[in-house]
Amino acid sequence: MHLSSAPTPTLHWIQADQPHSALWRSEAGVPPPTRVVMADDTLSAPAACHLAAQGTAMLWRGDFQNAKQLLQAMARRLDAGPARAFRRLDAGPARASRRLDGKPAKPAPDLLTAFNQHRMHQAQRARALGMLLLPFEAGHMLPLRRAPDVQAACTEAYGPSDAPYVASLRELQGLIGAHEWRKKGVNIPSLGARIHPHYGVYSPVRGEYLELIAAQPLPRGEPRGEIGFDIGTGTGVIAALLAKRGISRVVATDTDPRALACAQDNLARLGLSRQVQLLKTDLFPPGRAPLVVCNPPWLPAKPSAPIERAIYDPASQMLRGFLAGLKDHLTPGGEGWLILSDLAEHLGLRSRDQLLGWIADAGLQVLGRSDVRPTHSKTQDASDPLYAARAAEVTSLWRLTAID
Ligand SMILES: C[S@@+](CC[C@H](N)C(=O)[O-])C[C@H]1O[C@@H](n2cnc3c(N)ncnc32)[C@H](O)[C@@H]1O
């Protein structure tokens, strides 16, 4: 199945005074660079950074391993610059601490500044590193010295290839990383199994929220345990967990074809294909259920690439859509379980009062909440520009029900 959602426009360049062109691939939706020069093992990192800053792409003809080293050296140079300046804004965890009543303290304005600068730096960094390009031959073959076999990784993300194309080395590294994760899988202790994320699909690698779902008693709504909805299923991990907990029929939705293909693959591996029905649907499937679970993107900001859409959602559209439609999809006494990190509150991107307002406006009430602190490495990395917010982050399972 061809799963690539990226268009394939054309890249043009001049080589030995002759015009050349090839298909251009960018899963991040970056348009083909308009200025392209040939580059090889003689190119230094400062010269490459200079070209990238001017918007000139470098089409690599040298040794593949040297291209990797050049990209690393470029990344080091880019990280040594602006990142240093805004790291100083971060004065430690106290700035994003919680009040005694459990509500986050007013977010420090400098954390929002740090977040915006961090995003801008990330975008500039991605743009510059994306300027080192590789030529591919049909069949995803790299005609470069010491090049690895990248056929499987490229086929998984791009589908089959019957024509030459150009893509950035940075994009290829993302494809290879995703291929390795897909092969290896992510261990999910609450499921007692591994989940295999596909390229571009949200990976439950920080899976503390799954423990919350596993520990929460099933609601008393009728028909109890017979049906549950998983809204925005991604890899299918929550649907699988609900099925393993004994819900005899789970309907799982997503709008992303890659997510649905990935969920189908995982559910088949787990022998749950008959118990879980997958639907390509915006938010809810038709009908009602005593349990409706949703883990929406948690940061209301613009994604800088399609693969960030599981995390960044402008104006909290999915979260608000879920809350607004939940009441009409619950059976009497049923519960909606919303999984949500409060990182946006610490960054000043969304307030707790706003969230509570959306819940009330949707005719819902909060039955309870269970919390977990993320344990991933960034919560302990004091050099991360968003450390103060990450160190204070709590992920919650909100139990919601319709007001009678
Ligand atoms: C944060 S990920 C969660 C994935 C999975 N449930 C998990 O917990 O690992 C959010 C998912 O919602 C999906 N999504 C975004 N907007 C949606 C919508 N309007 N309707 C259904 N799914 C949506 C995304 O494609 C993504 O797979």
CA distance 38 to 53: 16
> Is 5 part of any domain?
no
Residues 285 and 364 occupy one common structural domain: yes
Look at ligand 1, atom 6, and give the residue with the nearest C-alpha. Answer: 233
Question: Pseudo-torsion of CA 285, 353, 119, 181, nearest 10°?
Answer: -40
Residues 170 and 246 occupy one common structural domain: no
Reported as a pLDDT band with limits 50, 70 and 90, residue 64 is: very high
Residues 171 and 206 occupy one common structural domain: no
Q: Counting beta carbons within 10 angstroms of the beta carbon of residue 304, is it exposed (0 to 12), middle (13 to 18) or buried (19 or more)?
A: middle
> Is 249 part of any domain?
yes
Using alpha carbons only, give the angle 363, 394, 186 rounded to the nearest 5 degrees.
105
CA–chain centroid gap for 99, Å, is 30
Residues 251 and 118 occupy one common structural domain: no
> Is 113 part of any domain?
yes
Residues 175 and 193 occupy one common structural domain: no
Residues 281 and 386 occupy one common structural domain: yes
pTM over 0.75: yes
Which of 165, 182, 199 is at the close of a domain? 182
137 touches ligand 1 (CB under 6 Å): no
Residues 53 and 194 occupy one common structural domain: no
User: Does 349 score more than 80 pLDDT?
Assistant: yes
395 touches ligand 1 (CB under 6 Å): no
259 touches ligand 1 (CB under 6 Å): yes
Residues 143 and 159 occupy one common structural domain: yes
> Is 1 part of any domain?
no
CA distance 25 to 172: 10
CA–chain centroid gap for 378, Å, is 16
Which of 144, 165, 182 is at the close of a domain? 182
Which of 157, 182, 207 is at the close of a domain? 182
Number of structural domains the chain divides into: 2
pLDDT digits (tens, 9 = 90+) for 274-306: 999 999 999 999 999 999 999 999 999 888 888
Give distance in angstroms: CA of 234 to centre of ligand 1. Answer: 5
Give distance in angstroms: CA of 401 to centre of ligand 1. Answer: 21
> Is 2 part of any domain?
no
Give distance in angstroms: CA of 45 to centre of ligand 1. Answer: 39
Lowest mean pLDDT among 16-30, 99-113, 348-362: 99-113
Question: How many CB atoms sit inside 10 A of residue 248's CB?
Answer: 11
For 62, the domain range is 10-182
CA distance 180 to 63: 23
**Looking at ligand 1, which atom is closest to the CA of residue 253?**
21
Give distance in angstroms: CA of 233 to centre of ligand 1. Answer: 5
What is the DSSP code string of 33-51?
Answer: PSEEEEE-TT--HHHHHHH
